[in-house]
């Protein structure tokens, strides 16, 4: 009997649907970095991350409600931990980076999550990394160094790169924890739980750092789009793709996100693509593609 992914690819219509959805998902996640770039200076990193988490959780709660009986009490401590590792802290770090660097910087750093997932699996789960994937990791980290040493409008973006890379590292840790500790649970419901837990965990910090002045309408609209569309709806599309075409194919959206992020920021915010950004993106995305080919 064929698997769900194999059945999906038996139909040319479903195949084209998946390609279109991958493109739409890449465009949505690419836009998330632009929205953060608009909203973060007015909301601050913690308040923006909290609103993003809460809005995303609200969109996904129906999936959790339908699968609520599949979550025994014993898994909730791990889900709470994942909420911090895989959502609360990374979202705050990306918002912090958006305050200090162009939108494309965070998106390029985000691509390192695929490499960090492989590295964590090698260091702590005994998976073989191989010479090919080791070379990919080296090239990816070289891209991070190039990016961190660059300047935009005369200002260093090293802290923003460090924040984005740290968020990607946490994504790598979270991906391995989900794969090893939460086998059998519906992934989209897991996303709903972790976003909800993350929202509760970050709430006290967000309240103490809430903006004193009312953010502009532009910042509010960007925040709403970031939470409802780029987080809630995007997760729904992503996990739908995983079910239909498999995780290995769905993760190829990683290559599209930085391209869309830079394009949106150039088109709507007037942010240029610098030579160091282009070099870093080539090294990081090339290394991700190389590592996926090795797999």
The yes-or-no verdict on residue 61 having pLDDT over 50 is: yes
| Tokens (6 digits) for 130 | 């191989």
φ and ψ of 123, to 5 deg: -75, -35
d(CA 152, CA 154): 5
| Tokens (6 digits) for 160 | 């923003």
The tens digit of pLDDT for each residue in 196-238 reads 999 999 999 999 999 999 999 999 999 999 999 999 999 999 9
In Å, how far from its chain's centre is CA 12? 29
- Give me the chain's average pLDDT, please: 89
pLDDT tier, 1 (very low <50, low <70, confident <90, very high otherwise): very low
The yes-or-no verdict on residue 14 having pLDDT over 60 is: no
d(CA 165, CA 157): 12
Q: What angle do CA 87, 92, 56 make, to 5 degrees?
A: 45
CB 103 within 8 A of CB 226: no
d(CA 194, CA 187): 10
Q: Which long-range contacts (CB under 8 A, 24 or more apart) does 173-177 make?
A: 173/85, 173/86, 173/116, 173/120, 174/82, 174/85, 174/86, 175/86, 175/113, 175/117, 175/120, 176/117, 176/120, 176/121, 176/124, 176/125, 177/78, 177/81, 177/82, 177/85, 177/86
pTM for the predicted model, two decimal places = 0.88
The yes-or-no verdict on residue 13 having pLDDT over 90 is: no
d(CA 43, CA 216): 10
The percent of residues above 70 in pLDDT, for the chain, comes to 92
CB 98 within 8 A of CB 64: no
Torsion of CA 260, 163, 94, 190, to 10 degrees: 100
pLDDT for the residue numbered 5? 41
Nearest to 133 by CA among 150, 117, 148, 157: 117
The tens digit of pLDDT for each residue in 241-264 reads 887 887 767 888 888 999 999 999
φ and ψ of 152, to 5 deg: -120, 120
pLDDT tier, 126 (very low <50, low <70, confident <90, very high otherwise): confident
Nearest to 239 by CA among 198, 193, 189: 189
Domain extent, residue 215, equals 4-294
Q: How many domains does the chain have?
A: 1
The position carrying tokens 């791990």 is 78
d(CA 290, CA 142): 14
Q: At 155, is the secondary structure helix, strand, or coil?
A: strand
């Amino acid at each position: 009997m064929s698997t769900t992914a194999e059945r999906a690819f038996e139909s040319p219509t479903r195949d084209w649907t998946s390609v279109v959805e991958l493109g739409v998902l890449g465009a949505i996640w690419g836009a998330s970095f632009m929205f953060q770039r608009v909203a973060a200076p007015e909301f601050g990193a913690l308040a923006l991350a909290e609103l993003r988490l809460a809005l995303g959780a609200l969109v996904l709660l129906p999936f959790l409600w339908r699968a609520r009986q599949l979550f025994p009490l014993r898994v909730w401590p791990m889900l709470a931990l994942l909420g911090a590792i895989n959502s609360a802290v990374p979202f705050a770090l990306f918002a912090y980076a958006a305050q200090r660097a162009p939108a494309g910087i965070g998106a390029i750093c985000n691509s390192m999550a695929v490499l960090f997932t492989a590295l964590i699996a090698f260091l702590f789960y005994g998976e073989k990394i191989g010479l090919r994937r080791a070379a990919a990791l080296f090239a990816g980290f070289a891209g991070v160094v190039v990016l961190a040493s660059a300047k935009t409008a005369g200002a260093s973006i090293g802290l923003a790169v460090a924040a984005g890379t740290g968020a990607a590292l946490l994504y790598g840790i979270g991906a391995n924890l989900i794969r090893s500790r939460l086998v059998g649970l519906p992934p989209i419901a897991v996303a709903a739980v972790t976003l909800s837990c993350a929202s509760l965990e970050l709430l006290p910090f967000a309240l103490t750092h809430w903006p004193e002045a009312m953010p502009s309408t532009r910042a509010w609209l960007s925040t709403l789009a970031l939470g409802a569309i780029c987080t809630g709806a995007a997760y729904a599309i992503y996990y739908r793709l995983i079910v239909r075409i498999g995780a290995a194919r769905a993760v190829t959206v990683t290559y599209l996100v930085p391209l869309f992020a830079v394009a949106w920021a150039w088109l709507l915010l007037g942010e240029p693509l610098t030579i160091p950004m282009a070099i870093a993106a080539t090294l990081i995305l090339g290394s991700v593609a190389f590592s996926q080919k090795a797999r």
